[in-house]
Amino acid sequence: MRYDAIIIGGSFAGLSAAIYIARARRSVCIVDTGSPRNRFAAQSHGFFTQDGSEPGAMIATARSQVAAYPTAAFIEEEAVSAAREPDGFSIGLATGQTLESARLVLAFGISDELPAIPGLAERWGRSVLHCPYCHGYEFSGQRLGVLNVSPRSFHQAMLIAEWGPTALYLNGGAPPDDPVLAQLQTRGVAIEPAPVSALHGEGTRLSAIEFSDGSTSGVDVLYIGPRTRLNSAIAQQLECELAEGAFGSVIRTDDVKMTTVPGVYAAGDITRDMHNVTWASADGVAAGLAVHRSLIF
């Protein structure tokens, strides 16, 4: 099975690329496992005309719109390997099936490596969050916390204070240096040095954080900036150049989202430090347009 383009990943970036390729009347196949990064969130905020929409519903609508184009196809399977061929690329699926294409778009996304604190993972995307621009408004004025997972957590605490009273939980880590401490104090950020042992609350709601000595502190939402990892090793298999981003490895791309391997494009969270659905979709549009033009010129 040969296509003009194969897109690995069918969330906001991949579907945005797909619809532009399909509208150019080129054949495109979207290979996707159906596990978008924001599947844990009940709502998505800040996306043009879709503020407060459920992410899964947004993706379902986009899939149906892409599927309406006769040159678009979907394969709900995991892509496990990729190789360069004389006239394009071959993609190996977990089923053993092989697909071929002239161009390739990587949009398989990233996963968050969450701290192993009891009560944290089950609240991820609900009351344990990453992006205040995506979810901060809904918790305005409540008891806000930031968990120290890296030196960038100090900056995150200063930012979160914009939405309400904020505590920085050092979790037994080193305290900030004096200039940073002064900035945190200016922002009114309280600092709790003790190691964190568990999160508590009813269901996915958060109401308290417990420390190693058994004491607790009331908190309604906890922000963290965890390390991330690429969801696939395909970029490395193709020898695309990676760079170390603020939270983990990212795929290096140019201004039209082409990687360092000609004919391979990448879009979304795998290419940038700043993550939200607007950027992911915009990256997909850029990649889709570039793919089509590369097939002509």
- List, in order, residues 6 or more apart from 131 with CB less than 8 Å away: 275, 276
pLDDT score of 68: 98
The answer to whether residue 81 scores a pLDDT higher than 90 is yes
Task: Provide mean pLDDT across the span 55-68.
Answer: 96
| pLDDT tens-place string over residues 16-41 | 999 999 999 999 999 999 988 888 78
The residue type at 75: I
Homologous superfamily in CATH for domain 2-111+227-294: FAD/NAD(P)-binding domain (3.50.50.60)
pLDDT value of position 42: 82
Strand arrangement of the beta sheet that strand 144-147 belongs to = 128-129, 221-223, 144-147, 166-169, 190-192
Whether the per-residue pLDDT at 147 is higher than 90: the answer is: yes
pLDDT digits (tens, 9 = 90+) for 40-59: 788 889 899 999 999 999 99
Residue with tokens 């996915």: 204
Side by side, the strands of the sheet bearing 216-218 are 196-200, 208-211, 216-218
Segment 244-256 shows an average pLDDT of 96
What are the pLDDT digits (tens) for 158-185? 999 999 999 999 999 999 999 999 999 9
Residues ≥6 apart with Cβ < 8 Å to 69:
19, 22, 23
Least confident of 37-41, 140-144, 251-255, 288-292: 37-41
pLDDT of residue 185: 96
Residue 290: per-residue pLDDT: 98
Q: 175 burial class (0-12, 13-18, 19+ CB within 10 angstroms)?
A: middle
Break the chain into its structural domains and give their ranges. 2-111+227-294, 115-223
pLDDT, residue 37, reads 81
The phi and psi torsions of 158 (rounded to 5 degrees) equal -60, -40
The overall average pLDDT reported for the chain is: 96
**Coil, strand, or helix at residue 291?**
helix
pLDDT (average), residues 57-68:
97
User: Strand, coil or helix: what is 109?
Assistant: coil
Integer Cα distance of 7 and 68 in angstroms: 17
Confidence at residue 138, expressed as pLDDT on a 0 to 100 scale? 94
pLDDT at 280: 97
**pLDDT cut 70: percent of the chain above it:** 100
Q: Do domains 2-111+227-294 and 115-223 have the same CATH topology?
A: yes
Superfamily of domain 115-223: FAD/NAD(P)-binding domain (3.50.50.60)
Q: Distance between CA atoms of 212 and 266, rounded to whole angstroms?
A: 43
Q: pTM for this one?
A: 0.95
CB 66 within 8 A of CB 30: yes
164: tokens are 């309400």
